[in-house]
Amino acid sequence: MIVVLLIAHALFAVTLLGAITHQTIGVWTPAKRPAASFVDRMRSVSPAGYAGAIIVLYIATAALGAIIYPNYRLNVRIVLEQMQLPKANGSFELKEHFVALGLGMLPAYWYFWRQPATDYGRTRAVLTALLAFIVWWGFIVGHVLNNIRGFEA
Amino acid sequence: MIAGRSSAVFAVAFAAAYAVLYVVAIQYNLALFTYHPASEEFHFLVKPAADQPPMYWYGWMATSALGALAFAVAVAALPAPWTARIWSGWSWAVPLAAMLVFGYILRGYFIR
């Protein structure tokens, strides 16, 4: 069961990563001419359209992570300590705190993305970038830790 | 329009208060509840166990969320002129500062 939840957590995280990366690129470097290349097409997405999906995906990914966290606490963290890998442990500690702080930012993120495009542009852009950083940090740390420890079926 | 202004104040106040309270909750271990993963038991407030690692993370988030909710509701209820000049950037500046604080608190993991 824990393997199924871990894979679901990873799949939600990948989807969230794609959505928030598109939104961040779209809001920070919007395309000013018709999209011709792959990069231009990423820049020309409508960032506002991602906000609702990102909130749902963020909460779902965090909830799945919270469900499998006790398993990590009992079976992975102790092993990392025995293997004397403090950077790996510290990276996960930062991940849990960053994700928690991201949850607290979601009401503001939701509110400011519902406002007209001409209002609160900087606030919206920075909130999105911070959430993108948190998602990328969480994804990379989770991936690396899974590579270190793996999982037992 | 008044409801919109209150929503903005609530959103900014919640984001800022949650970040501050989360740092305080961790520094002073103010978890609303404790989870013992080995025995799969929840306990009200902070309750260490001798035979297993306790998990406070859920409790820290609950403490912060409840405190921030109360604070944000109170601030949003203030007369509009009092909150008219609240900077929307507090919604990201305070969480960003909290992230830097955690980087400092946890630096021992990275500079051994």
* pLDDT, tens digit (0-9, with 9 covering 90-100), for B52-107: 889 999 999 999 999 999 999 999 999 988 888 899 999 999 999 999 999 999 99
Using CB atoms, which residue from B88, B92, B99 is nearest to A98? B99
- Residue found by looking up tokens 């929503």 in the block: B7
- Closest C-alpha among B63, B66, B91 to residue B7: B91
User: Considering only CB atoms, which residues of chain B are within 8 Å of chain A?
Assistant: 7-8, 10-12, 14-15, 18-19, 22, 26, 35, 37-38, 40, 52-53, 55, 57-58, 60-61, 64-65, 68, 88-89, 91-92, 95-96, 98-99, 102-103, 106, 108-110, 112
Query: Distance (Å, rounded) from C-alpha B4 to C-alpha B108?
Result: 44
DSSP string, A38-60: HHHHHHTS-GGGGHHHHHHHHHH
Tokens of A150: 């793996």
Give the model's pLDDT for residue A118: 85
Q: What is the pLDDT of residues A87-146, one digit of tens each?
A: 999 999 999 999 999 999 999 999 999 998 888 999 999 999 999 999 999 999 999 988
Instruction: Count the alpha carbons within 13 Å of A111 in the hemisphere toward its beta carbon.
Output: 24
| A101 burial via Cβ count (<10 Å: 0-12, 13-18, 19+) | buried
Tell me if residue A84 falls in helix, strand or coil.
Answer: coil
What residues of chain A lie within 8 A of the CB of B52, using their CB? Answer: 74
Q: What is the pLDDT of residues A13-48, one digit of tens each?
A: 999 999 999 999 999 988 777 777 888 887 878 888
Name the β-bridge partners of B43. B34
A109 neighbors A131 (Cβ within 8 angstroms): yes
Over residues B24-44, the mean pLDDT reads 95
Q: What is the ipTM of this complex?
A: 0.93
Give the model's pLDDT for residue A147: 84
Query: Distance (Å, rounded) from C-alpha A33 to C-alpha A116?
Result: 22
DSSP state of B55: B
Q: Does position B3 have pLDDT exceeding 60, yes or no? A: no
Do the chains contact at B102 and A94, CB–CB below 8 Å? Answer: yes
Residues 6+ positions from A95 with CB-CB distance below 8 Å: A137, A138, A141, A142
Give the model's pLDDT for residue B44: 94
Give the model's pLDDT for residue A76: 85
Q: Does position A12 have pLDDT exceeding 80, yes or no? A: yes
Q: What is the pLDDT of residues A73-102, one digit of tens each?
A: 888 888 888 888 999 999 999 999 999 999
Query: Distance (Å, rounded) from C-alpha A3 to C-alpha A68?
Result: 9
Cα A45 to Cα A57, A58, B111: the distances in Å are 19, 20, 41
Give the model's pLDDT for residue A153: 46
Which one-letter amino acid corresponds to residue B4? G
Average pLDDT, chain A: 91
pTM confidence score: 0.93
Tell me if residue A115 falls in helix, strand or coil.
Answer: coil
What residues of chain A lie within 8 A of the CB of B12, using their CB? Answer: 108
Do the chains contact at B65 and A104, CB–CB below 8 Å? Answer: yes
Query: Distance (Å, rounded) from C-alpha A45 to C-alpha B39?
Result: 48
Cβ contacts from A onto B, under 8 A: 102
